[in-house]
Structure 1
Amino acid sequence: MTVTTAIVIAGLFQIVLRTSFFFEQEKGLCSPAPSLASWIFLISLLDLISDLCLYPVRYMHLPYLCQVIVETIITILLTEFGAIVVWCTLEKLIWRLIKSILLVMGMSTMTYANYETLILGVTTTSISLVILAFVGQATDHFHMIRKKCQRIERKVALNIEMLWHYVNGCGTPPRRCKGMHECMSDDFEDICCPKRRRRRRRC
């Protein structure tokens, strides 16, 4: 997988600074559409690159700095190609296609000119989101993020349950609970509140 440093540097140059080294940017915009779609496309491209192995395995014995430099250069090259050549060409094609279809369907030129930015923004953003979804599914990063969120959710739920247990006067909450299914079951008091269990048995 590509080192994180290379991904961060390439994202800084392309998304934040909008700087190019290998491909000359056009003077005008690719289309009147907002830049949000191009940013989403770049994020999906960086996500895809992060899942690739750009540095040859046979050179892994060299210092780690060599891998960082090589992967940074390749990542910047690929992101510039994707942003300036691939996405800009796709955005121009979408622009001309939508304009032709709407005008042929009977929309007036004045109406189209007033809502052109909105129409192109919705269309290009939707397409870039679809690309991001496919890339995230292919790299399996969405699954990793979902699993991490589920772990955080379980941990928060466990802490709330133990806090509720403490507030209800069950004494000091236990240091460790074997699982969420145990603490949230009907036998929660038997596991986490032995004092109440003994008191109930005396009765």
Structure 2
Amino acid sequence: MGNPSMTIVLLVVLVVVIIFVIVTTITGRKASKKEKAKRYQEVRNQIKDYIATVEKRRNLRIEFEKVYARKGAEYKYRDVFDVIVELIEPKTNKVLEVRAYEIEGLTTKIDKKNYKTDWVVNGALELEETKRRIAIAEKEIKLTKSEKQLIRQEEKVREKELKAKEREELKTAKIDHKKKKTEPTPIVRPSQNVSGKFIPTRKKTD
């Protein structure tokens, strides 16, 4: 028979590990949810600012019909959102226009733990095409087998193009870095004439 005290210790350790895993998972999910909500709010704010400052459409109420984060291999390291908004006349509550936009987050590392995201609105999109793309992604529209294959092929092509672009950018960055390291540092000889005035030299006579 085994040692009862050892069994109790093992059970206690097991319970502690299970509790730790559960707490860590819950905390991680909460943090992820909070970060997601923050990013979605940043997207909304940027779209509002774009409509007001770039498109010069002010004094309108903006209702967000959809804020959708694109998924797929090509968006693994990129934050790209499809945003559908309603532009509403505040006094009459009349929907003046429904528009779609694409916005991308460019994330850069500040230090070991912190990152900064700069949002860029890439412009307006074709509304019906955007709605269809979102509906397909959310599986609201059932595609035929041939349509699914076509989408996969297009995704593979885009992924291949993106990887090629990334490789080219990395290659260029390495070359630039190498050039900077190999370029000779210009030698600046200090001027002996500090005052800047002409100082005549006398020839020594024997």
TM-score range, shorter chain: under 0.3
Higher percent of residues as strand: 2
Q: Which has the larger radius of gyration?
A: 2
Higher percent of residues as helix: 1
More relative contact order in 1 or in 2 (CA 8 Å, sep 6+)? 1
Length-normalised TM-score, structure 2: 0.26
Length-normalised TM-score, structure 1: 0.27
